[in-house]
Structures are given as C-alpha cells and as structure tokens.
C-alpha cells in the first residue's frame, strides 16, 4: 500500500455545523504492503502534493483518462479495480480489504460502515441512522435504502416545548429524549443480507478487531474529542469511552480501545439484527433511557423498520441523476435545483463568477422554500416528489428569477408543485470491479450525537429528533424551519438533508458522492456535480473548489474562503446579502466534506474532501 499522509495541524470550529478548517497540508510518502494488494492511499488532499498521483480525468473526455492532465489544479488518485472514499483512512482500508477478498461494493460498504462506528465515532455509528444508495448496473437497478431513525412511540408533537411554549433546545439536542430509534445496524444488515455476498461475521471481523485491539487516534478525531469534551462530561459512560483514563482527551496517535463496543459487535455478529434490537444490548439502551428522560422502549427497538424506497431520478445534460427520496429532502431538491439550472448556460457565466453564483443562489432559495413547506416523512405526509422534480415546475421557477437583482427571501414562498399527475454526519462512496456502486451517508446528527453513550454497550446515541420541526417556523440547529409536514409524530422519521447520490451515464455509475454538513449537504452535492458536469473539473478539482450556500432563510449567502471579494461586491450591488463581521470582513465557513469516486473509461478516480482531517481514498 502506498500512502500519502498529511502532517499539518488542524484547526476546527464547531463541527456540529459542519465547520472544519484546515491549514495547507504537507505530505510524507510511505510504502506498505497490505495483503498482497497494491493500494493507493490518500489522506486528505490539498494544493500541496509532494507526489502527484496519476490521471487526467476530465469529466467527459475518455481519451484523457489514462494520462496526466497538465492543466489540472488537483489530481485524484486513480485505480483500476475497486475504491473506497471515506472520512477515515482505517475504515477505507477495511472496505478495500473486503473488496480484495472478493466482496462486492455492498460487502465493502457494510464493513466500512461498521468500521467507521469504531474509528470515527464523531459520526460513524451504531446508535444513529442514515441512507444507502446502491447501484447494481448488471441488474439495471438502483435501490434507496432508508435506515433513518424513527421517533419513539411515546414521542409527541410538543415533546420539545417548555412550559412557556417555547422550544427547549437543550432537550431537543442534548438529552436522551433527543435520540430517535437507531436504524444503522438494521440498515447495514439489510443491505448485506439482500445485496451482499459475504457473511455478517466476516464483515464485522475488522470492526471487532479495531474495537478490541484499539485504534491509533487520528488527528481529526483527537481534535474533535478535545473540542467536544463538554458534551461528554455530563455522561460518565461517555467519559469512560472517549476520554483517556487519566481524565484528559486522547492525543493524536494514542491507542483508543473500545472493549464494550467490541462486545456489542460480537453479539451482532453472532445474532444478527436481533443482537442489537433485542436481548442484552436492547436492555442496555432501555436502561440508558431510564437514566434520564429518554423515550425508547423495547417495543420501539423491536419495531424498527428498514424501508427500501424508489430513488428520485432526474436528467441533467444527458446524465441520469439518482438520489435519496424522502424522508430525505436531499435528492428531490438536488434535482429541482439541477432542473432550474439546466436552462442556463453556466459554463458561459464562468465558474464562481457573480453571474453563476447569482443563478445558483436563486435556485437554492426556491428549493429550500419548498423544503420548509412540503418535506416530511412520506409514510406520514404526502410529499409532492414528482412535482418538485418535474422539469415544467422548474421552468416556472426559473422564469421567476430576475437576472439583474437578487430576490428577497421574504417575498419568495414555497411554490405549488403539481400534485402527482402524474458534526455530524459522514459520507462514504464505494465502487467494485464490476461497477457496482454504493453511496452511503449516515449520522448521529451532531458530532458525537447527543453526547450520551449506552452504558455497557459502548456506543453513542443520536440526537436526530432535533431534525423534526419542534414548533412551526422555529429553526432547528441548522437554521432550517418547517411545519406540519415535519412535525413530531410517533414512529415518524425526521426530515433529513442527507444526499447520497449516484450519477449514471449509459446506465453505468459515473459519479458516486455525498457529504455531511446539515442543511448545506444538498447545495454541496449540487456544486460537486456542477463542477464536473458543467465545468469539466476532475473529481479532485470538483471537491476542492470553494463553495457557496443559501437556504432561503436566513436570506444570506454563505461563502468559503476562495470566493473572490470582488465577486461578492458585485453580488452585493445586486442586492445579495453576505454575512460580514463587525470589522466589515466577510465571514466564511467550511461547507461540507464530500467523499467521491468517478468512474470513467474503466478507471476509478477518487477524492477525499480536502476539508477533512482524516479522509482517505483506499483502492486497488
Ligand atoms: O439528516 C440530516 O440532515 C442531519 N441530521 C445531518 C447532520 C449533519 O450533517 C451534521 N454534520 N455536519
């Protein structure tokens, strides 16, 4: 295995809002041999390669795929057989180990998902939930697996309102009551049983090994553990699991062992889904609830349901977009925005020019206005998905955009799409040698979820209940508002923005991507796709380019560093609002952390987002 390793220090602000800042990295080059496979490992990425990986990988230029594009700013690692892009190097390696043993993309994704629960406890999880998009080109099939948390049966609409009728954010975000019924274990096992080829015991072996023998704490995890200390300190079991026995945060490189988690994984390996949702682990979850105001019961756990859904689909400039349907808002709004934007010549406007950002923001504004009104769990609320993703509807929205002046969000309301006339999250992508692909985004919601761990079972509980609309019009932690469609109801799934996405070309996976970042996820995925499909960037350039975000309300455009101040001034002249500090300086934020793979001309090109400290591509 060949590894490129970043050595710089990371500074990171509040990861619950997806904020991660990196200083430019330096890389050292080391060679390893791992199980006879040649594996190219890339830890993070930046403009400062000391070793340039191969490849050109222009978006639509097959002939260029095997040579170096001399004009590329950033080069993706390239491989021929299989690839995993994940937010943690060890977990990505686990996926490739499984591919090397003959496993398919689903086997590798499930193994990576369980490994991340050990190596990346900020977001990798057993106690959370998520979505997995699976493309099986030989069967001409794309499956959207919904293993989102469900509200406990005892949850009520006003669960998070205090006696004064106002939202109690502490309860909604940092209490045992903020935990929905976890879906991850059921979801990963469902994927493996239905679409994988290997046994659960084989798939879980690496995660068990990592939990019991310990991991060397990577830099990003050390930083996150230190930064979120206050969140653990309210819960002795979290302190036991995630603080050094000397009562301090772990340093980078120190060994973190998780024997209780290892035991839980062993029970799952032996008993399958029942090992988590019934028996001793379920007892421990229910006991943890009783330590406070938690609602999850044995019946809730036993009744947890994974749902296979039809992915949402759209066409963009000849490519087929497949993504996550509700209860994620991600896929439908991704397609809504692409449909609006397809009517503009974005290439002529120029990447990140004022004209381009103007069109992007107006598309985002309209999609997020629709999100607030129309989106919720489709098992409880009639979501007009086909209307939202229809080209006619998008055309109407596009015609309402003034290309000279900014719209005002206060004057933009959710449209009436035709009824059916029709800190923390983490994403990983996998492609195997047969072209099967998996895009998986899963989460505890905030970094380390609610901060509460299930005592004796070794894992953290999510705080996903904050993704519901606790009170109409009152924003959640990501500033998102909602109403009736996303009100709390027993057994309902909170609305999500997670957007695991697979772009197909001629029926074959072409781009596999997704991102954390709360409300920003959808616009981050949008820009990754536009960068490749409109601006001919390779996947590494597309991941690295500075991004912007707008979500209708608040009516401000968020920018990353790298968006030109001149461009911002041009847009301010047109009436767009950018957050500025008291000194007048533009306030920047990090937007998302994609982990993507592109497949072109028989080659795989990977991009671990340079915004993540521990992200990696593993391949063979
Ligand atoms: O499902 C959602 O949309 C949120 N719970 C995701 C949270 C998230 O991405 C936080 N990470 N930065």
pLDDT in tens, 513-552: 999 999 999 999 999 999 999 999 999 999 999 999 999 9
Question: Of 16-30, 233-247, 394-408, which range is least confident?
Answer: 16-30
What is the pLDDT confidence band of residue 7, given thresholds at 50, 70 and 90?
very low
So what's the pLDDT on residue 423? 60
Is residue 43 pLDDT above 80, yes or no?
A: no
So what's the pLDDT on residue 46? 31
The residue whose CA is least distant from atom 11 of ligand 1 is 424
For the chain, report the end-to-end CA distance as a whole number of angstroms.
9
So what's the pLDDT on residue 468? 97
**Is pTM beyond 0.75 here?**
yes
Q: How many CA atoms lie within 13 A of 220 on its CB side?
A: 29
Catalytic residue among 10, 16, 20, 425: 425
* Cα–Cα distance for residue pair 520/541, rounded to 1 Å: 19
C-beta 467 within 6 A of ligand 1: yes
From the number of C-beta atoms within 10 Å of its C-beta (0-12, 13-18, 19+), residue 605 rates as: buried
Mean pLDDT of the region 244-251: 97
* Residue among 445, 466, 482, 522 to mutate when testing ligand 1 (max atoms within 8 A of CB): 445
So what's the pLDDT on residue 48? 24
SS3 content of the chain, % helix, strand, coil (to 5): 35, 20, 45
* Residue among 173, 498, 612 to mutate when testing ligand 1 (max atoms within 8 A of CB): 498
So what's the pLDDT on residue 18? 31
For this structure, is 184 an active site residue?
no
Ligand 1 atom closest to 516 (CA): 9
pLDDT in tens, 277-317: 999 999 999 999 999 999 999 999 999 999 999 999 999 99
- 347 Cα to the center of ligand 1, angstroms: 31
* Cα–Cα distance for residue pair 428/516, rounded to 1 Å: 10
C-beta 444 within 6 A of ligand 1: no
* Cα–Cα distance for residue pair 512/595, rounded to 1 Å: 8
- 464 Cα to the center of ligand 1, angstroms: 8
With both helix axes pointing from N to C terminus, report the angle between 200-213 and 105-119 in degrees, rounded to the nearest 10: 20
pLDDT in tens, 131-166: 999 999 999 999 999 999 999 999 999 999 999 999
Q: What percent of the chain has pLDDT over 90?
A: 86
So what's the pLDDT on residue 63? 42
């Amino acid at each position: 295995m060949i590894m490129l390793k970043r050595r710089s220090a990371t500074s990171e602000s509040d990861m619950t809002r997806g904020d991660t800042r990196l200083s430019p990295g330096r890389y050292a080059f080391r060679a390893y041999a791992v199980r006879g496979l040649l594996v190219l490992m890339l830890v993070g990425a930046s403009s400062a390669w000391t070793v340039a990986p191969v490849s050109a990988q222009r978006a639509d230029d097959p002939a260029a795929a095997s040579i170096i594009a001399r004009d590329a700013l950033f080069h993706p690692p390239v491989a021929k057989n299989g690839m995993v892009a994940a937010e943690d190097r060890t977990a990505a390696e686990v996926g490739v180990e499984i591919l090397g043993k003959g496993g398919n993309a689903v086997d590798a994704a499930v193994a990576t998902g369980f490994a991340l629960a050990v190596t990346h406890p900020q977001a990798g999880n057993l106690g959370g939930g998520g979505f997995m998009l699976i493309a099986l080109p030989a069967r001409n099939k794309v499956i959207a697996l919904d293993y989102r948390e469900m509200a406990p049966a005892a949850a009520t609409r006003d669960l998070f309102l205090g006696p004064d009728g106002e939202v109690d954010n502490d309860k909604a975000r940092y209490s045992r009551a903020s935990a929905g019924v976890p879906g991850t274990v059921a979801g990963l096992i469902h994927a493996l049983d239905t679409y994988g080829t290997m046994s659960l015991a084989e798939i879980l072996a690496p995660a068990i090994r990592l939990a019991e023998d310990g991991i060397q704490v990577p830099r990003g995890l050390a930083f996150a553990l230190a930064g979120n200390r206050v969140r653990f300190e309210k819960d002795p079991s979290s302190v036991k699991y995630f603080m050094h026995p000397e009562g301090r945060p772990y340093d980078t490189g120190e060994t973190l062992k998780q024997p209780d988690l290892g035991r839980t994984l062993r029970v799952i390996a032996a008993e399958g889904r029942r090992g988590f949702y019934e028996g001793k682990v379920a007892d421990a979850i229910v006991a943890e609830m009783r330590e406070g105001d938690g609602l999850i019961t044995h019946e809730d756990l036993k009744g947890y349901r994974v749902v296979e859904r039809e992915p949402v689909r759209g066409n963009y400039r000849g490519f087929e977009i497949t993504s996550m349907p509700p209860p994620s808002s991600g896929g439908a709004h991704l397609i809504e925005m692409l449909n609006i934007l397809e009517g503009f010549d974005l290439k002529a406007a120029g990447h990140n020019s004022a004209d381009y950002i103007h069109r992007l923001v107006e598309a985002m504004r309209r999609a997020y206005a629709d999100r607030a009104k129309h989106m919720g769990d489709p098992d409880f609320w009639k979501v007009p998905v086909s209307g939202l993703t229809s080209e006619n509807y998008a055309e109407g929205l596009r015609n309402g955009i003034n290309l000279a002046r900014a719209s005002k969000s206060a004057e933009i309301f959710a449209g009436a799409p035709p009824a059916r006339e029709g800190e923390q999250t983490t994403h990983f992508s996998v492609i195997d040698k047969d072209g099967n692909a998996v895009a998986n985004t899963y989460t505890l919601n905030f970094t380390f979820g609610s901060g509460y761990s299930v005592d004796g079972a070794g894992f953290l509980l999510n705080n996903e209940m904050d993704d519901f609309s606790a009170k109409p019009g009152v924003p959640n932690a990501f500033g998102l508002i909602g109403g009736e469609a996303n009100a709390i109801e027993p057994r309902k799934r909170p609305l999500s923005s997670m957007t695991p996405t697979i772009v197909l070309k001629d029926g074959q996976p072409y781009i596999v991507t997704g991102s954390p970042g709360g409300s920003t996820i959808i616009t981050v995925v949008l820009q990754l796709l536009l960068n490749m499909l409109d601006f001919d960037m390779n996947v590494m350039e597309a991941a690295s380019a500075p991004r912007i975000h707008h979500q209708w309300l608040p009516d401000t455009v968020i920018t990353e560093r790298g968006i030109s101040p001149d461009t911002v001034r041009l847009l301010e002249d047109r009436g767009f609002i950018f957050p500025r500090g008291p000194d007048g300086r533009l306030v920047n934020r990090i937007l998302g952390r994609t982990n993507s793979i592109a497949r072109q001309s028989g080659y795989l090109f990977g991009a671990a987002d340079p915004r993540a400290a521990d992200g990696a591509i593993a391949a063979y």
